[in-house]
């Protein structure tokens, strides 16, 4: 028989088309394994970032304060912004104790409303005042804490600080359940014009892990001697622990799922190769060498693995993207590094599945195999 | 006859069934474990989140305005009204009492601190607290106090005893400033007090003297008084219903609102239990906790869903192959005169039996796995969830029959002779 009539490619193609159901089952299994691996890898790699992003809901994790009674130098905000980077949020606060018309003391805070709104998402504000819309001469737009409101008479009220009286108008009410409820917030510019004091506190929300926050803390301390910089330990410690535990949970899930799917795929492929012992025997009986038959089987497996990896990578990236969009409201881009990893994984599983039965079959005589079990 | 065939078929040729059984076992184990983790992760996380401390603050209602800047109260300590310490047991009598994990009453004051060796007396801020207080309610007792509320506090030395009127702990910055070490004796308003420990907190507490509540009440001359109470409760993330004003709800909705552990409804119940008290959720903590809880449990649910899908496909592919292996059997039965219906029912019954057996085993294995994972990560085990058993069995049954059906039906459609002649 002239072997050239049946090229390797021809045999592989015929073999796969001829056993459509079996090839499809194997392809499905390999696609699922690749998709699962891609999804979990992509998710796991971006998990740290996504999780830390969620902890931004707790607000500032670093607080920078001027020594007792003094204010921060005017260039501090710019310095901190340069050190902390554009991903950090920074809100300045200035505090003064003013008198109401009754002479009761009340804490007035000057701040940047837009910055506070971006950072302190838990502030329940009836309507954020627009600091830019303020017209000179009219009362200053104030955001009044719900507790402080009970100590003022009406929406328009004067406050006195150091002999200077300022007319204010309640533009919005604020509820946080904490100290802010007893305070009145006004734009920082109006605060400085009134009291002559600038910001004494900067609240900084730095992204990233505890180590990154710690690093930023050191750099801020080095750049700003004489200023107290401390981490909000309550937040930083808990965050680290919860992120770590979630990562371990994801990692265990990842290993569990990957193992299950891997074993199922391996078993499926092994069975479908083992089942073809009669093909194997016939080919050998017709004079193929061990080598040629092995090559045929491995080539088939590799082709299926390649197709499965390609389809699985696309499917898995899509799945990770969907989870990111749905759960984290963030974009989880496809991880190109996952492609070679998934391909290698699939090839490994497929070749192992094809190779294992080959070792068993090799030792058997074709005649024994053809006669039956 | 059918059952004999079924049993014979099930226990013969075990190697061929091993593939299907293993696939189903692993598939159900994974799905059970992931669902068990998915359903309990919210609960576990909620306990983890308690490390953020208090999420509800209780203050006297008819209060003067707090004048606090940077954690330091500027107003004189005597002003304002108080809550009663003896009333706090009532908080363990509210509807959501089991969700209240910790209470920490506080009584701030200013005291004069003098060291043993002659030195300048200094007026320092002090705070009366529970350290390891035992709260009795009915026949039960609960350990409560500030150290468990503020888990980020670091202690060098020991906490003062709650009943001791001659012990105190001191904030680290204040201790450094006054050169006080644990074990030192100082005079507080003239009375001798032993410093048992130094506390580092990273906030205003570092400059504060921490006293047993009883001692603080004795110094201020206000027995039974507390200025505010920090409450730590397990809460449910805020949703649309939680944001509604309870007074504007219909009776049915109001009951649902009241009986959901929202921070708002727990605060509402605290206000009902304590006359003259105002309870407010600390929104920074409740909102943050809600976000984390929703995102992480959402993530685990989605991963569980992905596991369910992946395991289903993997098991279905295995079943397809496992049945294909047995084409010859089908051909033989048909050749011997079995009807298509009886062959199909035999195969499906066998598949069903196999998937139920493996599925039950898989459920056990998965529950054990989940318990193990829970113990490793959260140091508390994930209990067996009986609701997952029907889910696991249903999944095993559905997937294995769906996976096997195409092969069985296709083979049944062929001529028995053609099937038999075809190599396996």
User: d(Cα B5, Cα A242) in Å, to the nearest integer?
Assistant: 55
Flag if B280 and A181 touch (Cβ within 8 Å). Answer: yes
- Name the closest residue on chain A to residue B24, using Cα atoms: A264
B positions 210-269 inside 8 Å of A (CB): none
Q: Is the pLDDT of residue B78 over 60?
A: no
Whether chain A has a CB inside 8 Å of the CB on B72: the answer is no
Per residue in A122-170, pLDDT (tens digit) is 899 998 887 666 677 788 889 999 888 888 888 888 999 988 999 999 9
Q: Is the pLDDT of residue B305 over 70?
A: yes
B positions 300-319 inside 8 Å of A (CB): 300, 302-303, 306-307, 310-311, 313-318
Per residue in B79-95, pLDDT (tens digit) is 578 889 998 988 888 88
B382 DSSP assignment: P
DSSP A128-164: ---GGG--TTSPEEEEEEHHHHTTS-SSEEEEEETTE
Chain A positions in Cβ-Cβ contact with residue B423 (cut-off 8 Å)? 278-279
pLDDT of residue B282: 92
A209/chain B closest Cα distance in angstroms: 15
Q: How much is the pTM? A: 0.82
Section A222-233 average pLDDT: 88
CA angle, A20 as apex, A17 and A23 as ends, to 5°? 100
Whether chain A has a CB inside 8 Å of the CB on B291: the answer is yes
Chain B positions in Cβ-Cβ contact with residue A72 (cut-off 8 Å)? none
pLDDT of residue A371: 67
Section B14-21 average pLDDT: 75
Please enumerate in sequence order all residues whose Cβ is within 8 A of that of B394, keeping only pairs 6 or more positions apart, or say none.
none
Instruction: Name which of B14, B65, B200 to mutate to probe chain A: the one with the most chain A Cβ atoms within 10 A of its Cβ.
Output: B65
Section A163-189 average pLDDT: 90
- Name the closest residue on chain B to residue A232, using Cα atoms: B202
Flag if B407 and A238 touch (Cβ within 8 Å). Answer: no
Nearest CB to A327 within list B295, B311, B406: B295
Answer whether B202's CB lies under 8 Å from A232's CB: yes
Q: Is the pLDDT of residue B161 over 90?
A: yes
Whether chain A has a CB inside 8 Å of the CB on B21: the answer is no
Flag if B67 and A248 touch (Cβ within 8 Å). Answer: no
pLDDT of residue B413: 81
B140/chain A closest Cα distance in angstroms: 30
Chain A positions in Cβ-Cβ contact with residue B424 (cut-off 8 Å)? 275-276, 278
Flag if B150 and A234 touch (Cβ within 8 Å). Answer: yes
Whether chain A has a CB inside 8 Å of the CB on B375: the answer is no
Nearest CB to A122 within list B287, B316, B321: B287
Answer whether B303's CB lies under 8 Å from B34's CB: yes
- Report chain B's mean pLDDT, rounded to a whole number: 86
Q: Is the pLDDT of residue B43 over 70?
A: yes
Section B345-364 average pLDDT: 90
pLDDT of residue B63: 62
Answer whether B310's CB lies under 8 Å from A257's CB: yes
Whether chain A has a CB inside 8 Å of the CB on B180: the answer is no
Looking at chain A, how many residues does it have?
A: 373
Please enumerate in sequence order all residues whose Cβ is within 8 A of that of A312, keeping only pairs 6 or more positions apart, or say none.
A30, A31, A32, A33, A34, A35, A36, A37, A38, A342, A346
Section B183-197 average pLDDT: 89
pLDDT of residue A308: 92
Q: From start to end of B116-264, where are the E strands?
A: 122-129, 133-137, 140-144, 154-157, 167-171, 185-188, 191-200, 209-212, 225-226, 228-233
DSSP A308-370: HHHHHHHHHHHHHHHHIIIIISS-----TTHHHHHHHHHHHHHHHHHHHHHHHHHTS-HHHHH
Per residue in B194-234, pLDDT (tens digit) is 999 999 988 888 989 999 999 999 998 888 999 899 999 99
Q: Kindly list the distances between the CA atom of residue A321 and the CA atoms of A55, A203, A285, A288, B313, in Å, as whole numbers in the listed order.
A: 21, 33, 52, 48, 21
N-to-C CA span, chain A: 29
Per residue in A259-295, pLDDT (tens digit) is 888 888 887 777 777 777 777 778 878 877 778 888 8
Nearest CB to A268 within list B66, B202, B318: B318
- Name the closest residue on chain A to residue B286, using Cα atoms: A122
pLDDT of residue B13: 67
Q: Is the pLDDT of residue B103 over 90?
A: yes
Longest dimension (CA), chain B: 111
Answer whether B227's CB lies under 8 Å from B176's CB: no
What pLDDT band is residue B347 in, cutting at 50, 70 and 90?
Answer: confident
Question: B45: buried, middle or exposed (CB in 10 Å: 19+, 13-18, 0-12)?
Answer: buried
pLDDT of residue B197: 93
Three-class DSSP category at A296: helix
Question: Can you tell me which residue has the tokens 């089987």?
Answer: A297
Flag if B318 and A260 touch (Cβ within 8 Å). Answer: no
Q: Is the pLDDT of residue B355 over 70?
A: yes
Section B12-18 average pLDDT: 71
Instruction: Name which of A50, A238, A349, A360 to mutate to probe chain B: the one with the most chain B Cβ atoms within 10 A of its Cβ.
Output: A238
pLDDT of residue B8: 73
Section A96-101 average pLDDT: 89
Q: Is the pLDDT of residue B346 over 90?
A: no
Q: Is the pLDDT of residue A318 over 90?
A: yes
Q: Is the pLDDT of residue B3 over 90?
A: no
A360/chain B closest Cα distance in angstroms: 15
Q: Is the pLDDT of residue A221 over 80?
A: yes
Flag if B285 and A58 touch (Cβ within 8 Å). Answer: yes
pLDDT of residue A372: 58
Smallest Cα–Cα separation from A39: which of A313, A337, A349?
Answer: A313
pLDDT of residue A3: 47
pLDDT > 90: percent of chain A:
25
Whether chain A has a CB inside 8 Å of the CB on B162: the answer is no
pLDDT of residue B361: 93
* Helix count and strand count (H, E) for chain A: 12, 10
Chain B positions in Cβ-Cβ contact with residue A108 (cut-off 8 Å)? none
Per residue in B373-421, pLDDT (tens digit) is 888 888 888 888 888 899 889 989 998 888 888 888 888 887 888 877 7
B positions 354-373 inside 8 Å of A (CB): 369, 373
Smallest Cα–Cα separation from A13: which of A237, A345, A296?
Answer: A296
Instruction: Name which of B201, B317, B372 to mutate to probe chain A: the one with the most chain A Cβ atoms within 10 A of its Cβ.
Output: B317
Q: Is the pLDDT of residue B424 over 50?
A: no
Looking at chain B, how many residues does it have?
A: 424
pLDDT > 90: percent of chain B:
25
User: d(Cα B16, Cα A372) in Å, to the nearest integer?
Assistant: 15
Section A299-327 average pLDDT: 91
Domain ranges of chain A: 3-54+241-371, 61-231
Q: Kindly list the distances between the CA atom of residue B246 and the CA atoms of A327, B86, B285, in Å, as whole numbers in the listed order.
A: 30, 28, 21
Half-sphere exposure of residue B385: CA atoms within 13 angstroms, side-chain side = 22
pLDDT of residue A1: 44
Domain ranges of chain B: 2-46+296-421, 55-281
> Would strands B185-188 and B225-226 be described as parallel, antiparallel, or unpaired?
unpaired
B positions 392-411 inside 8 Å of A (CB): 406-407, 410
User: d(Cα B208, Cα B70) in Å, to the nearest integer?
Assistant: 13
Chain A positions in Cβ-Cβ contact with residue B315 (cut-off 8 Å)? 264
């Amino acid at each position: 028989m002239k072997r050239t009539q049946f090229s390797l490619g021809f045999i592989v193609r015929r073999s796969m088309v001829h056993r459509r159901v079996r090839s499809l089952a194997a392809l499905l299994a390999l696609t699922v394994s690749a998709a699962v691996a891609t999804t979990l890898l992509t998710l796991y790699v971006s998990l740290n970032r996504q999780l830390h992003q969620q902890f931004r809901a707790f607000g500032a994790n670093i607080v920078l304060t001027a020594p007792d009674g003094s204010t921060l130098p005017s260039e501090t905000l710019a310095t901190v912004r340069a050190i902390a980077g554009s991903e950090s949020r920074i809100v300045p606060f200035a505090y003064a104790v003013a008198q109401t018309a009754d002479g009761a003391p009340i804490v007035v805070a000057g701040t940047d409303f837009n910055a506070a709104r971006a950072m302190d998402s838990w502030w329940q504000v009836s309507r954020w005042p627009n600091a830019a819309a303020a017209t000179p001469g009219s009362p200053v737009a104030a955001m009044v804490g719900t507790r402080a409101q009970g100590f003022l008479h009406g929406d328009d009220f004067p406050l006195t600080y150091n002999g200077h009286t300022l007319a204010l108008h309640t533009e919005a009410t604020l509820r946080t359940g904490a100290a802010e409820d007893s305070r009145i917030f006004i734009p920082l510019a109006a605060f400085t014009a009134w009291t002559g004091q600038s910001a004494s506190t900067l609240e900084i929300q730095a992204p990233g892990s505890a180590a990154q926050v710690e690093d930023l803390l050191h750099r801020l301390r080095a750049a700003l001697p004489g200023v107290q910089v401390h981490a909000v330990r309550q937040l930083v410690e808990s965050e680290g622990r919860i992120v770590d535990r979630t990562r371990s949970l994801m990692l265990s899930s990842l290993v569990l799922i990957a193992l299950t799917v891997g074993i199922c795929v391996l078993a499926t492929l092994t069975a479908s190769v083992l089942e073809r012992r009669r093909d194997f025997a016939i080919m050998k009986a017709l004079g193929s060498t061990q080598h040629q038959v092995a090559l045929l089987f491995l080539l088939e497996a590799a082709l299926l693995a390649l197709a499965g990896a390609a389809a699985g990578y696309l499917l898995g990236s899509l799945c990770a993207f969907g989870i990111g969009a749905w759960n984290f409201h963030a974009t989880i881009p496809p991880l190109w590094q996952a492609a070679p990893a998934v391909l290698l994984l699939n090839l490994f599983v497929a070749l192992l599945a094809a190779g294992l039965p080959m070792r068993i079959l090799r030792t058997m005589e074709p005649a024994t195999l053809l006669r039956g079990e | 006859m059918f059952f004999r065939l079924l049993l014979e078929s099930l226990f013969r040729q075990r190697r061929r069934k091993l593939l299907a059984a293993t696939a189903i076992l692993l598939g159900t184990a994974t799905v059970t474990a992931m669902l068990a983790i998915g359903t309990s992760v919210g609960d576990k996380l909620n306990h983890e989140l308690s490390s953020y401390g208090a999420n509800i603050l209780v203050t006297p209602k008819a209060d003067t305005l707090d004048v606090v800047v940077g954690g330091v109260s500027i107003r004189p300590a005597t002003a304002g009204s108080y809550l009663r310490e003896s009333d706090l047991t009532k908080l363990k009598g509210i509807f959501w009492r089991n969700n209240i994990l910790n209470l920490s009453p506080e009584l701030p004051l200013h005291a004069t601190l003098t060291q043993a060796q002659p030195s300048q007396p200094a007026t320092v801020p002090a705070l009366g607290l529970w350290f390891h207080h035992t709260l009795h309610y009915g026949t039960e007792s609960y350990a409560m106090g500030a150290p468990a509320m503020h888990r980020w506090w670091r202690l060098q030395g020991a906490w003062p005893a709650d009943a001791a009127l001659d012990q105190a702990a001191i904030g680290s910055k204040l201790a450094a400033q006054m050169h006080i070490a644990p074990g030192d004796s100082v005079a507080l308003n003239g009375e001798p007090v032993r410093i048992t420990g130094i506390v580092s907190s990273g906030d205003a507490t570092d400059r504060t003297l921490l006293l047993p509540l009883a001692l603080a009440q004795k110094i201020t001359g206000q027995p039974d008084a507390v200025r505010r109470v920090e409450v730590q409760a397990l809460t449910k993330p805020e949703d649309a219903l939680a944001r509604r004003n309870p007074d504007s709800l219909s009776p049915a909705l109001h009951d649902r609102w009241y009986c959901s552990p929202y921070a708002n409804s727990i605060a509402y119940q605290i206000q009902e239990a304590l006359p003259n008290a105002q309870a407010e959720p600390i929104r920074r903590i409740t909102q943050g906790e809600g976000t984390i809880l929703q995102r992480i449990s959402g993530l685990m649910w989605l991963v569980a869903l992905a596991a369910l899908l992946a395991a289903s496909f993997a098991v279905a592919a295995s079943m397809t192959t496992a049945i294909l292996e047995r084409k010859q059997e089908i051909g033989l039965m048909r050749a011997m005169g079995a009807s298509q219906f009886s062959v199909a029912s035999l195969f499906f019954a066998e598949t069903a039996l196999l998937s139920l057996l493996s599925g039950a085993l898989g459920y056990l294995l998965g529950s054990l796995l989940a318990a193990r994972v829970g113990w490793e990560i959260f140091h508390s085990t994930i209990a067996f969830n009986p609701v997952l058993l029907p889910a696991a069995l249903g999944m095993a049954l559905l997937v294995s029959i769906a996976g096997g059906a195409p092969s069985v039906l296709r083979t049944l459609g062929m001529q028995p002779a053609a099937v038999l002649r075809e190599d396996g």
